Amino acid sequence: MHTLYDSDTFSVTHMLSNAASELQHPSGASKSELGAQSLPMLVRHGFEIVDKRSGKEVYLDGSWAELFQQHIQAWQVNTPTQEEVEDTLEQYAELAQNPVLIH
């Protein structure tokens, strides 16, 4: 996990897949020795956006994560203002339905 953004209103965390670290089983056996069932089928990662005002969070994966990644890449090229970042996060926060119980 990497916190990418944290303000009074939003927090954004990049959740990284751990599939790459599981290519070698703790016992030392390789993937071919263990069979495909012991390893994850998909390498997934995503972004968690927490709206601190509402106490809700949304997890973006798949095509939503790809779209959000494009925003991040654009921000790296043209540094946005905090207001521009917050406006974008507000749009994603509208998808938030899960209450934050422990964070």
Domain with 36, as residue range(s), is 2-99
What tokens appear for 52 in the block?
């601190």
Average pLDDT of the chain to the nearest whole number: 80
Number of domains in the chain: 1
Model confidence, pTM: 0.72
Confidence of residue 12 (pLDDT cuts 50, 70, 90): very high
Closest CA to 47 of 74, 68, 18: 68
pLDDT one-digit tens code per residue, 36-80 = 555 556 667 899 999 999 999 999 998 999 999 999 999 999 999
Residues 6+ apart with CB under 8 A from 56: 50, 93, 96, 97, 98, 99, 100
| Placement of tokens 């069979």 in the chain | 35
Please give the pLDDT value at position 33: 52
CA 71 to CA 88: how far, in whole Å?
9
